[in-house]
Amino acid sequence: MSGQKRADIRAGLSVKIVLKKDQRSGVLTSGIVKDILTNSPTHPHGIKVRLTSGDVGRVKEIV
């Protein structure tokens, strides 16, 4: 499942995100969602979230 719809993402969900510094390489970082930072219902590049580790990025995959 892609992370383009805000309704599919909630706190506590295990996801893979791409960090700002990794956007060119496409390296994914795994973690648990702490906060949802995107307000709009959808986003073409993925919903921006903060993980429990403090990393911020766009959801590319819901595990």
Q: What is the pLDDT of residue 19?
A: 96
Q: Where are the domains of the chain?
A: 6-62
Q: What is the pLDDT of residue 1?
A: 76
Q: What is the pLDDT of residue 38?
A: 95
pTM over cut 0.85:
yes
Task: For residues 54 and 44, give the distance between their C-alpha atoms in angstroms, rounded to a whole number.
Answer: 23
pLDDT tens by residue, 12-50: 999 999 999 999 999 999 999 999 999 999 999 999 999
DSSP symbols for 31-57: EEEEEE---SSB-TT--EEEETTS-EE
